[in-house]
Structure 1
Amino acid sequence: MTGVASGGRANRDSRLASERFSWRRLLHPEGLHATRRQYERRVAISDLLVLLVVIISSEYVWLGRDADTIDAQFGIGYTKFGVLLTLVWWVALRLGGTRRRHVLGSAAEYQRIVHVTVTVFGVIAIVTVLLEFNLSRGYLAIAFPVGLTALLFTRRTWRRWRRQQLLKGRFVENVLVVGQPDNAREIACWFRSHPTQGLRVTGVWRPVHATESQWLRVGEQFIPIMGQARSLLSAVRMTGADAVIVSATDELGHHGLRDLTWELESAGIEMLLSPNLVAVAGSRIGMREVAGMPFVAVKEPTYAEAGNWPKLVFDWCGALVLLVMSSPILIATALAVKLSSPGPVFYRQERIGRDGEPFDMIKFRSMRVGADAELARLLEAQGTAGQPLFKVENDPRITRVGQFIRRYSIDELPQLLNVLRGDMSLVGPRPQRGGEVALYDRTARRRLRVRPGMTGLWQVSGRSNLSWEEAIALDMHYVENWTLVGDLQILVRTVKAVVAKDGAV
């Protein structure tokens, strides 16, 4: 926090900060709201067009031009039914909240689309049975999956477009933080490091007295700090805020939060309450009411579930399928390694697994024989001998074939055998050497609660480009918030990262 006292220099600093902040006053909320509404209309129109094309195409693909009527009494043909189905499906997407402002771009968007689609076709199936309509099952069998796939694809296209707009500074919501400046700085830094979330802190308001000439500096941004001398709504208007985040309630008093909700409701401003749980997944956070008082309930970490039978079956079946599918690549790589340099085809190294148990991890050999004996000298030369992540920049020990198989992570494929043996998982924190584990602190040791994986969250979030602190934070998020769906998402992202050679070494 930068305090500005009286005096010429202080006045100059205040004017400079005011000039840097004044551009936000030009961002009138109505402009952002109009842009949002335009985006929502575009998504709605694309939904309608996609559904109409899919439904009509399903009719001609399955029934041809000479489709019978569904019900002769009411004179309903397949074309009329298709148009009606399109409208019902489209309206259901609206009623299901798939096009709401806070749903668009979130993880809940896809879930709601799937839920609405399943519900619509379930209701149609029940209605056709009760009314004894002569409706073709093949027609619905085509329309249902194709329509759902087309909807998800178009929504993904819109999400990618919106992501690009956010990176350009468009569609960004201004946020006013109510609470301590330190909390506001943490929230502002979090938003700056996640620009695709579309949020930006433009002001801090404290329910207690605060000097109006105080500013909070976050990077190149100057954020004004306001207090009781200015009302909350006045601070909202000054900062162009679209939402208010309450980061601390200790300064509000017993009824202050309730009064804020009424004050903001009259102005149509959304209020969010920050529980200061940055590293906890939203699926673990819920509300619990005790004696009429609401509490934020945080579920226990899910690392224990990562060792249960669903993940074990998923790992074993997935490893077996991948091993069979990649067998031609395995054979070709083994021949290339053997013929290109002297030494064994496979490289075995002791790594630390679940609960600190060592095991031999298998890889294709990508370095010359005796490379391990040179590691300490190379790490010392580049000044990273005391860091837990033993990585050598421009490693001279890698062979020509090794460079290629490392670039596309082919050298990791033999670890499928480790998965079948139960030493590793398809997804999890990467196993490290004993020397690296010896440098762990108390927090880092928690990553040993689950079986190590062939790929993990930090690999798909930057691979070797991340610092150790960033990598361990991502591993801890995975350990504490594990889900089977999350494993599937990481596997899909792994394929993309390997193809893009993002951070490969």
Structure 2
Amino acid sequence: MKPNREHAACAFSLPTSSGSYPLKRVLDCALGGMLFILCLPLMAGTAIVVWLSLGLPLFFTQARVGAGMRVFTVAKFRTMTDARGPDGALLPDQMRQTVATSLLRRLRFDETPQLLAVLAGDMSMVGPRPLPMATIASFGDLGRLRSLVAPGMTGWAQVNGNTLLSDEEKIALDLWYVAHASPWLDARILLLTLKILVIGERINQGQLKVAKDFLLGHTCGQQPRMKMQ
């Protein structure tokens, strides 16, 4: 889908410092490599749970957009069946999960295979959630600017509300991150991710307001038009 024509002439910009910082790739390789080794037993256990709960295949793969709009394939452990309703449409996500796979998603164990994408340079430990090309394209300039940095296993939107947020709120938080990426912010996000795994998702109204004000200050109002996946 294309952005609304009334926004075609709108100027949209982010601070000139937008983008990743020089040490980000080095830190990604170091942390990603260490976590991959530590998570090997966890991934083996997750694979067994998926096999017992859903059978084969063990993995879900899909094309997603990386830094610079480059497309790559993301892999996760499968947590949902392909159950469909009478009309042939897939049932809601919650109805296609088992108790075990729902817990895997809650703890984000299903995302551990993405550590390989981090080591390959397709993803980062921290960044906006990787999205399909159709979704990125639907955001117009917002999607292009969101893709200035590599997508992450966790990110600013994920630790400030994640699934509880609207698409407009998610992209505001994502773009705020793109403009403010730093080692200190990434470290904060990683620590907040651990907190979220324990207490669950909560909307941070203060950070959300900051991100919305930031977005309003850099655009004339283009809105997301498709649901993030």
TM-score past 0.5 threshold: yes
How far apart are residue 490 of structure 1 and its match? 0.4
| Residue identity matched to 2:80 | M
Secondary structure of the structure 2 residue equivalent to 1:314: helix
Is residue 2:66 matched to residue 1:361? Answer: no
d(CA) in 2 for partners of 1:399, 1:432: 24
Q: Contact 1:408/1:501 (CA < 8 Å) preserved in 2?
A: no
Q: Contact 2:21/2:182 (CA < 8 Å) preserved in 1?
A: no
Q: Contact 1:429/1:475 (CA < 8 Å) preserved in 2?
A: yes
d(CA) in 2 for partners of 1:451, 1:371: 33
Pick aligned residue for 1:445 from 140, 144, 147: 144
d(CA) in 1 for partners of 2:118, 2:140: 27
Query: Which residue does the alignment assign to 1:420?
Result: 119
Is residue 2:13 matched to residue 1:300? Answer: no
TM-score (norm 1): 0.35
Aligned Cα root-mean-square deviation (Å): 2.4
Pick aligned residue for 1:340 from 26, 42, 53: 53
How far apart are residue 351 of structure 1 and its match? 0.8
CA distances 1:441-481 after superposition (whole Å, capped 9, x unpaired)? 32232101111000000000011101111111110011011
CA distances 1:478-499 after superposition (whole Å, capped 9, x unpaired)? 1011111111110000110111
Q: Contact 1:301/1:479 (CA < 8 Å) preserved in 2?
A: no
Query: Which residue does the alignment assign to 1:494?
Result: 193
d(CA) in 2 for partners of 1:320, 1:499: 24
Query: Which residue does the alignment assign to 1:398?
Result: 97
TM-score (norm 2): 0.75
Pick aligned residue for 2:154 from 455, 458, 462: 455
How far apart are residue 433 of structure 1 and its match? 1.3
| Residue identity matched to 1:343 | L
1:183-198 alignment, distance < 5 Å: none
Shift of the 343–489 alpha-carbon distance from structure 1 to 2, 3 Å rule, reads same
Which structure's CA Rg is the greater one? 1
Q: Contact 2:21/2:181 (CA < 8 Å) preserved in 1?
A: no
Q: Contact 1:307/1:451 (CA < 8 Å) preserved in 2?
A: no
Query: Which residue does the alignment assign to 2:62?
Result: 349
Is residue 2:182 matched to residue 1:469? Answer: no
How far apart are residue 405 of structure 1 and its match? 0.1
Structure 1 unaligned regions, length at least 5: 1-279, 281-298, 380-391
d(CA) in 2 for partners of 1:438, 1:466: 20
Q: Contact 2:128/2:146 (CA < 8 Å) preserved in 1?
A: yes
Shift of the 378–336 alpha-carbon distance from structure 1 to 2, 3 Å rule, reads closer
How far apart are residue 301 of structure 1 and its match? 2.5
Q: Contact 2:18/2:179 (CA < 8 Å) preserved in 1?
A: yes
| Residue identity matched to 1:311 | K
Is residue 2:42 matched to residue 1:329? Answer: yes
How far apart are residue 378 of structure 1 and its match? 5.3
Q: Contact 2:123/2:151 (CA < 8 Å) preserved in 1?
A: yes
Query: Which residue does the alignment assign to 1:313?
Result: 26
How far apart are residue 319 of structure 1 and its match? 0.6
| Residue identity matched to 1:402 | T
How far apart are residue 371 of structure 1 and its match? 6.3
How far apart are residue 346 of structure 1 and its match? 1.7
d(CA) in 1 for partners of 2:70, 2:94: 29
What percentage of residue pairs aligned between the two structures are identical?
39
d(CA) in 1 for partners of 2:68, 2:80: 29
CA distances 1:71-93 after superposition (whole Å, capped 9, x unpaired)? xxxxxxxxxxxxxxxxxxxxxxx
Number of aligned residue pairs: 188
How far apart are residue 330 of structure 1 and its match? 1.1
Secondary structure of the structure 1 residue equivalent to 2:61: strand
1:115-264 alignment, distance < 5 Å: none
Secondary structure of the structure 1 residue equivalent to 2:147: helix
Q: Contact 1:307/1:450 (CA < 8 Å) preserved in 2?
A: no
Q: Contact 1:361/1:415 (CA < 8 Å) preserved in 2?
A: yes
1:277-292 alignment, distance < 5 Å: none
Is residue 2:180 matched to residue 1:481? Answer: yes
Q: Point out which structure has higher relative CO (alpha carbons under 8 A, 6+ apart).
A: 2
d(CA) in 2 for partners of 1:371, 1:450: 35
Q: Contact 1:444/1:476 (CA < 8 Å) preserved in 2?
A: no
CA distances 1:256-312 after superposition (whole Å, capped 9, x unpaired)? xxxxxxxxxxxxxxxxxxxxxxxx9xxxxxxxxxxxxxxxxxx62231xx163x110
Structure 2 unaligned regions, length at least 5: 1-13, 203-229
Query: Which residue does the alignment assign to 1:407?
Result: 106
Secondary structure of the structure 1 residue equivalent to 2:26: helix
d(CA) in 2 for partners of 1:437, 1:416: 22
Secondary structure of the structure 2 residue equivalent to 1:477: helix
How far apart are residue 395 of structure 1 and its match? 2.9
Secondary structure of the structure 2 residue equivalent to 1:363: strand
